[in-house]
Chains A and B, each alone.
Chain A
Amino acid sequence: MPDVRTPAPQVTPRPTGRVSVPAGIERVMEDRKANEYTPPEPAALTVRDLDFYYGSRRALAGIDLQFPEKMITALIGPSGCGKSTLLRCLNRMNDLIEGSRVDGEIEYHGLNLYDRGVDPVEVRRRIGMVFQKPNPFPKSIYDNVIFGARVNGFRGNADELVERSLRQAALWDEVKDDLKKSGLALSGGQQQRLCIARALAVEPEIILMDEPCSALDPIATLKIEELMRELAEHYTIIIVTHNMQQAARVSDYTAFLLAGEAGSGEVIEYGPTEEIFANPRDKRTEDYITGRFG
């Protein structure tokens, strides 16, 4: 069994703006379908032929996506396209929904997250999550940060971990004198950064963000976006967003999802963010990002 705690160190160059592609390669790229794209290895998560059902309703159909390590991948699409559902499949939060069912597999370090022997608690401490609405616990800032580490058996220096996590989440300077204050007393943007700090304290490998800025004002949003770029040095980030400018600003790769005829979400197009926004291959992607629907 591979040691999943220490991902192999690797360097992947970031895509830098629009690159001129040699003519031959361009031809090859033209030939592939818009939703068939393989980002550079290694992959943090690979979704293969994933179907998701709420009861008898199929919410996701045949999803194939590979999420590259230490990159930010954005999932965009109109409401009801299944992007949040897909995100919550990635750390098995959907297990909590009574009557839901998953077909297909999600590969993580060579293991399928939906294998029989896989415990969702083990999955969630490696694949953290930040929610749409900031949801700090009604406890002190300090207890908010330390909770996840404690339940996962952390026995080290708690003060140090709290400081490190809050620094990583760019919140330390604002709260360092007030760690005993309730997390609920912070502003919305601070609360969301507290939730990020809380997720970081568990030392996950991947962080899922479900529209993390939709409840925040533009300045708080900017702060979170800057923070995401910093975090991408060490973490794989997958973000669901309604905001196309946000996807364009922060993400390296973008997947566009749309609900098909039967109401099941499908990946319409996937690729480097620059390409998706500058040269969408699929007419529907183009319509969506130019604001023609959604």
Chain B
Amino acid sequence: MAVTQTVPSAPHEPAVNLEASGRVARRQRLSRASRYVLLGTALLGVSALVVLGIDTVMNGWGRVTPEFFTNYPSRFADQAGLRSSIIGSVWVLSLTMALVVPIGLGTAIWIEEFAPQNAVLGIIKINLANLAGVPSIIYGVLGLAIFVRFLSFGPSILAGALTLFLMILPMTIIAAQEAIRQVPDSIRQGSLALGASQWQTVWGHVLPGAMPGMITGVILAMARAAGETAALVMIGAFAFIAYDNTSIMDNFTVIPVQIYNWTTRPQEGFRADAAAGIIVLMVIVLTFNIGAAVLRERFRRH
């Protein structure tokens, strides 16, 4: 038998009032207001970007034709294209990546896993952080002095790639260090306790664990290199290239330098060319970033 209980229905005043009042009400109002203020600041930045993007697309969309990708630069705005700068970008970025992946990741692994933790290492770490913040034009000056002049590489693909490599090396190392530090120490200890050597531990556990972060770091650094202009202009990659590059000692130009080149022309038509080039470059850099995000997610799931 279920026992039914009758609840006294007589209404009575509650002992406490739980509606916001006084100071609580004031704090809650402030809290609600802050939400809209913050939304406003976010919208400010984003809307500026959207306006710039729309403006660029409106100016340049008409010039993004198949010929725009296959034509060499030209004196005539409506015949100019990105062919030589796309090829130059592919050469320079491939070489940069071939340099930065082994050297950047190797340095990060050494610092985090093998280096003796002493004062010298501390200085190296601080300098890496500082180097990551050095303006790219400084790397251009360095590249001009060392690679172009001292080593006599001239304004070549090799000199350009070495300059970009130096520029993105610190940020690649720092991103990889961060990724390596994410691997918990208990994993390393577990591996070492099984009689694995330090290298076997790094290869078998630390690198797989750090891989998503390291790949992301490399791709983001490459995206920065892909858009770099100042350093390459500095080393002299400002030539009129009307042929396909075939050697790392060739003179070259890259997409952002070509865009810059077009913006310096007085004729109206080149401005459309520049806008079209920006569209192409934005798509490339965006692809890099999306690729980084996709790879990171894929690794994270495994």
Contacts and interface: CB of A to CB of B under 8 A. Distances in A.
B196 interface: yes
A262 interface: no
B185 to A, nearest CB: 9
B224 interface: no
A199 to B, nearest CB: 7
Contact of B204 (A91, A98, A147): A147
A198 B204 CA distance: 15
A125 B186 contact: no
Interface string A108-147: 0000000000000110111011010101111000000001
A151 B189 contact: no
B194 A128 contact: yes
Contacts of B196: 121, 147-148, 151-152
Contacts of B192: 93, 96, 124
A130 to B, nearest CB: 8
Nearest to B188: A96
24 contacts: A96-B192, A98-B117, A122-B195, A124-B194, A125-B194, A125-B195, A126-B195, A128-B193, A129-B193, A131-B186, A131-B189, A135-B187, A135-B189, A136-B190, A138-B208, A148-B195, A148-B196, A151-B191, A151-B194, A151-B197, A152-B194, A152-B196, A195-B190, A199-B194
A199 B208 CA distance: 21
Contacts of A136: 190
Interface of A: 91, 93, 96, 98, 121-122, 124-126, 128-129, 131, 133, 135-138, 147-148, 151-152, 195, 198-199, 202
Interface string B255-275: 000000000000000000000
Given A131-B186, A151-B200, A137 B205 contact: yes
B217 interface: no
Contacts of A98: 116-117
A121 B194 CA distance: 8
B190 A137 contact: yes
Counting chain A CB atoms within 10 Å of each CB, the highest count among B187, B189, B193, B209 belongs to B193
Interface in B71-126: 116-117
A125 B192 CA distance: 9
B189 A96 contact: yes
Contacts of B197: 121, 151
Contacts of A131: 186, 189-190, 193
Given A131-B186, A202-B195, 18 more contacts: A91-B193, A93-B189, A93-B193, A124-B195, A125-B194, A131-B190, A135-B184, A135-B190, A138-B208, A147-B194, A148-B195, A148-B196, A151-B191, A151-B195, A151-B196, A151-B200, A198-B190, A198-B194
Nearest to B197: A121
- The 7 tightest CB contacts between A and B, nearest first, are A125-B195, A148-B194, A129-B193, A135-B186, A151-B196, A135-B190, A124-B195
B204 A151 contact: yes
B100 to A, nearest CB: 27
Interface string B193-220: 1111100100011001100000000000
Nearest to B190: A135
B199 to A, nearest CB: 10
Contacts of B200: 151
